[in-house]
Amino acid sequence: MFIKCGDISNAEKLFDMLEHVVIDYGQMMKCYNDHRLPMKTIDLYEKMKKEGIQPDKIIFVLLIDACAQIGIESRCRTIVKQIPSSMFNDLQFQTTLIHMWGKVGFVKKAEQIFKQIDQPDPVAYTAMINSYGLNGLGHKAIELYYRMPVEMIVEKTHVCVLNACSHSGLVDEARFIFSTISMTNKWVYTAMVDCLSRLFLFDEAKELIEEFERHQPPCLPMYMSLLSGVRNQNDVSLARQITQRIQKLFHALDKDLISASVLLTNVLAASGNLDEASQMRWNLSRSGAKKQMGLSWTEINDELVQFRAQDRSHPRTKEIYDELGRIESELIEHGHKFDSSWITRPMMPDETVESILNSHSERLALAYNFIQQPIPSRIQIVKNLRICDDCHNAIKLISQIRNCQIIVRDANRIHHFADGKCSCNDHF
């Protein structure tokens, strides 16, 4: 009952009181995964082993799903080594692995598993298409989509291939695929709107929304995709229009209206309307709304380390900020211009544009990797929000200066940085 209600605290108390069987562990692990608490899932698995309870297939599937949420390859490898070899011939488990390896940026491993499946089902095909898309391999996603038996294609497959086009800037291919889909629904339309909005094709995106609304009720995710694209171009006028329409159509959805207002606030700040942005931010604060905190995590020596923006809680904070200073000097020397439009709050007297942007959570995680001995040749970071343009441009340059591979998974996709370039080709 507690699990169904999302009452994790009481569910944990009840769980601790019971004598456990494997199904109890499965229910609790699923609860953790559903509430984005993957480390608790892994901790529970370790407890299960200590109690001598033999995991079943469901436990291993939940464990792999938790690894996918964490998104760090080294952690995934450690867990996969503990799974019996007999599991690797099970189609459901193979599909879960494809999903996991795709989510951690190891597409070759996902591809290898997919090729071992004699008769992939729709879920396996879709997982592989999604893995390609997340990692900027749009052409491979489209190729597999066309190879997939037509009778196997389901709604999620359409959405994944359109998302793959979106993440690779393949708008013509997306238009063609969209035109061939006979049963379009709100998620298919949303994926197409997202693709158009990422390339700043706002008029076409708005026309598509109008077309959808001639037959269906308005869909908030479409407007949020459009607004996200507008934010990336800092079009204040259009951002106002979209936000006002969202407030008119979806006035009962408080949480989602907060997200729209935050995006508009960011557009105002980025375009120099700081007073209006501050007023909106104050209004949001007065209403009790809270902006989601940006977090990044990385793994060093089997330890998962998490940072927030301007974080100074780590024991090695001085070393981290000293390294950030060195990185800042290198970036400036190589021509990087810090973009103040990505500062969305008033600056304090002791702050500079460089000091604020340099202490975004993903840069703290990056600096932490660089103070290790030896320095990793491949750095992996996971971020809960979209990476900002300044961090994206800076990390591209850092990968060239420091001659290393950097993988960053943000809220939308996976970025593979190497030699001054990113796999997304700036479509993010």
Tens of pLDDT along 322-353?
999 999 999 999 999 998 878 777 778 888 88
Sign for the CA dihedral angle at 309, 310, 312, 314 comes to positive
d(CA 247, CA 260): 9
Q: How much is the pLDDT for 16?
A: 75
Q: What is the DSSP letter of 89?
A: G
Residue 200 has pLDDT above 80, yes or no: yes
Identify whether the C-beta of residue 307 lies closer than 8 Å to the C-beta of residue 365.
Answer: yes
pTM above 0.75, yes or no: yes
375 by DSSP, 3-state: which?
coil
Q: How much is the pLDDT for 349?
A: 85
* Mean local confidence (pLDDT), 81-102: 93
Q: Which residue's entry shows tokens 């089997």?
A: 302
Residue 230 to residues 175, 413, 425, Cα–Cα distance (Å): 20, 19, 19
Average pLDDT over the chain reads: 89
* Mean local confidence (pLDDT), 403-410: 95
Per residue in 221-241, pLDDT (tens digit) is 999 999 889 888 878 889 888
d(CA 337, CA 199): 23
Q: How much is the pLDDT for 159?
A: 97
Other Cβ atoms less than 10 A from the Cβ of 406: the count is 22
Q: Which of 50-64, 181-195, 257-271, 291-305 has the lowest mean pLDDT?
A: 257-271
d(CA 44, CA 22): 11
Q: In the sheet where 378-383 sits, what is the strand order?
A: 303-308, 295-300, 378-383, 405-409, 414-418, 421-422
256 by DSSP, 3-state: which?
helix
pLDDT classification of 2: cutoffs 50, 70, 90: very low
- Percent of the chain's residues with pLDDT above 70: 94
Q: How much is the pLDDT for 5?
A: 47
